[in-house]
Every structure is written in structure tokens, then in C-alpha cells.
Structure 1
Amino acid sequence: MTLQAKLDAFKADFEAGKPPYNVPHSVIETMHRATAELIASGAAGRALKAGDTAPAFTLDDPDGRPVASTDLLARGPLVVSFYRGVWCPYCNMELQALQAAVPAFEALGAGLVAISPQTAVNSRKSVRQNDLGFPILSDTHNDVAAAFGLRFAMPDYLIELYQGLKNDLPAFNGDPSWTLPMPGRFVIGQDGTILYAEENPDYTRRPEPEDMLPALRRAASVTA
């Protein structure tokens, strides 16, 4: 089953209110409204695209060790995936799919990192819960997400909904701003050029890991 098929199946059960979710229809309507408004805002069109230069970044891993994109790119092309946090089931399914694709990435000499605004303790939970073997980096305040054009401020009515669901993002992220990244996936060549970019204001839609392989093959042929 493809990643998107798994996401669609989860979404169907979630929105149908099947156990253990039992989510009121009003909650679903509010989430749909927020997604529709983010799509209509044109935010995705302002994110970085293939051909742009990727911003350099240095972020901490779950153990507090700084990880620099320049060091990662010195080893080979880099896959960078931005996700919302360990509290998001869609993100966890995406992380699991990326983990399954690690051998294909490594065969092409590429590395992989995932970036979210969550604190180190929640990144450790991401690694443990999803059995990950690649680095999870904490992007405090979503500053790196902003540099890639992915950060957005949540509307007040969505903040109120999250608070009602006990989804306390300021606690998850150690940041009071109530911002999130749009899910985004990038392949960066060793010269810093973005070779593949996919971002979506609909957090239930994620690209397949295999979609990045053509860009990684091109990068491998350049460095061969």
C-alpha cells in the first residue's frame, strides 16, 4: 500500500468518527475550514521550489548535538522532510514510510533528516515511536521552516480547537507562537541547489518517498 493510500484510509476512519477517534463532526468541519483557507492563501506558492538555493541551517538533534546542513551535504545529496510533530498521525505515517525508503536513498549516496518545531523530548518520542534510524532535528520557532517558506500562523479559531482537544502546541514545541510548518519535502544537491520540492497546505497529502528517486539519481550522476 502506498503512503497516500494509508493516509487516505486513516483519514476516512478518523472523519467517520470510528473508534478510537470518535471525533465530533464540528471538529472535522473546523479542520477542513483551516485547510481550505491555507490553500486559498497561496502560501504553498511562496515556498522554495526546485532550482532555488536551499538555506543553510544548524539544528539540534534529540540529544542536543548541533547538526549542520553543510556537514550533511559534504557527504552527499540530502533529503529534508518538514513535519508538524509527533502528535500528528499523518506525520508519523510519513516518517515510517521515509524510514522504509532509507536503503534506496543510501544506495544513491543520499542522507535524510526530518525537521519539526517540537522539543527534544518529543523528537526522541518520534524516533522511538516510529523506530527511526535517521536524525530528527528541532526547529525552534519554525525559523528554518520559515526560510524554506513553510511556516504559517494558525488562525485563532484553530488554536481554540487545539486547546479544546488538549493539543498544547506551545508545550510540545517550547514556543508560544502557535505556528506550524506546512509539510514539505526537499532534495538538496551537494552544491545547495534544491533538486526536488513538494509542499502541501493540506497536511493529509504527502508525496511518496519514491517520488524523490529521480532527483537523487540525477544528483548521483553529477557526483559520480
Structure 2
Amino acid sequence: MTLQSKLDAFKAAFEAGKPPYNVPQSVIDTMHRATAELIASGAAQHALKAGDHLPAFTLFDPEGNTVSSADLLAHGPLVISFYRGVWCPYCNMELQALQETLPQFEALGAKLVAISPQNPVNSRKSVRQNNLTFPILSDPQNRVALDFGLRFEMPDYLIELYTSLKNDLPAFNGDSSWTLPMPGRFVVGQDGVILYAEVNPDYTRRPEPEDMLPALRLATSRAAA
């Protein structure tokens, strides 16, 4: 199955109110409203695109080690996935799909990192539960996500819904701002130029990991030239 087919199957079961979630239709309607409003806002159009330069960043991995974009690019091209958090089943399925494709990235000399607003404790949980061998970097208050044009503020009615579902983002993130990144995927060449960018304000839609392979091959050929 493709990643999107897995996401579609999960969404159909979730929205049908099947266990273990058993959510009422009012919850589904509120989520649909929030997604529709984010799409209508045009926020995704302001995200970084192919041809833009990567904003330099230095973040911490779950073990407290410093990881910089400069160090990552020194070894080859870079794949970046913005990850909302361990609480998001769609995001976890995406990380699992990226993990499955990681050998193909590495064969092209690329590094893969996820960037998330969640705190290191939850990132360690994500790594463990999804059997990841690539790091999740902590982005407090979505500052790097803002540089990429991905950060958005959650509307009050969505905060109320998350709170009622005990999906306490301030606790997950160690940050009271109630902001999230739109899911985004980027391929960056060693010169810091973005070669592939995919951003979708609908968190249930994700590109296939294999979609990035042509950009990675281009990055590798440019580095070898």
C-alpha cells in the first residue's frame, strides 16, 4: 500500500467512528472546519518553495545533542519532514513510511531528519514507537517552522476541541503558544538550495517518500559535477 492509501483507510475508519477512537460526528465536523479554513487562508502559498534557500538552523535531538543544518549538509543532501507530534496518527504513519524509504535516501548520500515542536521526551517516544533510525529535532515554539512558512496559530474552537480530547499541546510541546506546523517535506542540496518542497494544509494528505528521489538524484549529480 502507498502511504496515502494507508492514510485514507485510517481516515475512513476514524470518521466512521470505529474503535479505538469512537469519535462523534461533531468532532469530525470541527476538524473539517479547521482544515477548510486553513486551506482557504492561503497560508501554504507562503511556505518555502523549490529554488528558495534553506533557513539555517541549529536544534537539539532527543538526547540533547546539537544538530545544525550546516553539519547535515556537509555530508550530502538533506531530507526534512515537519512532524506535528506523537499524538498525530497521520504523522506517525508518515514517519514509518519515511523510515521504510530511508535506505534509498542513504544510497544517494542523503540525511533524513524530522523537525517537531514536541519536547525531547515525546520525540524519544516517537522514535521508539515508530522504530526510527533517524532523529526528530526539537523546534520550540515552531521557530524553524515559522522560517519555513509553516507555522500557524490554532483557532480558539480547535483549541477547545483538543483540550476536551485531552490532547494537551502545551504539555506535549512544553510551550503554551498552541501553534502547529503544516506538514511539509523538503529536499535540500548541499549548496543550501531547496530542490523539492511539498506543503499541504490538509494534514491527512502526504506525499509519497519516493516522490523525493528525483530531487535527491539531482542533488547527488550536482555535487559530483
Report the TM-score range of the alignment, normalised by the length of the smaller protein: over 0.9
Is 1:51 equivalent to 2:56 in the alignment?
A: no
Whichever residue aligns with residue 35 of structure 1, its letter is: T
Instruction: Identify the residue that residue 171 of structure 2 maps to in structure 1.
Output: 171
- Residue 147 of structure 2 aligns with which residue? 147
- By how many angstroms is 1:20 displaced? 1.2
| Structure 2 counterpart of 1:74, one-letter code | A
Aligned partner letter, 2:97? A
What is residue 107 of structure 2 aligned with on the other side? 107
1:124-182 Cα offsets, whole Å, 9 max, x none, are 00000000000110000000000000000000000000000000000000000000000
SS of corresponding position for 2:49: coil
Percent of paired sites with the same residue = 82
Matched, 1:218 2:205: no
CA distance in 1, matches of 2:20, 2:190: 45
Normalization by structure 1: what TM-score? 1.00
Q: Which residue of 1 aligns with 2:96?
A: 96
> In 1, distance between residues paired with 2:163 and 2:149?
26
The residue type paired with residue 136 of structure 1 is: I
Q: Give 1:23 deviation, angstroms.
A: 0.3
Amino acid corresponding to residue 149 of structure 1 in structure 2: G
Q: What is aligned with 2:5? A: 5
The number of equivalent residue pairs is 224
For residues 144 and 89 of structure 2, the distance between their equivalents in structure 1, rounded to whole angstroms, comes to: 22
Match of 1:161 in 2: 161
Computed over aligned residues only, the root mean square deviation of the Cα atoms, in angstroms, reads 0.4
| 1:59-70 paired onto structure 2 within 5 Å | 59-70=59-70
Structure 1 unmatched ranges of 5 or more: none
Residue ranges of structure 2 left out of the alignment (5+ in a row): none
- 1:76 equivalent to 2:86? Answer no
SS at match of 2:74: helix
What are the superposed Cα offsets for residues 61-99 of structure 1, whole Å, 9 maximum, x if unpaired?
001111001000000000000010000000000000000
Aligned to 1:181: 181
Q: Secondary structure at the match of 1:180?
A: strand
Following TM superposition, the consecutive aligned residue runs of length 4 or more in structure 1 with deviations greater than 3 angstroms are none
Paired position in structure 1 for 2:136: 136
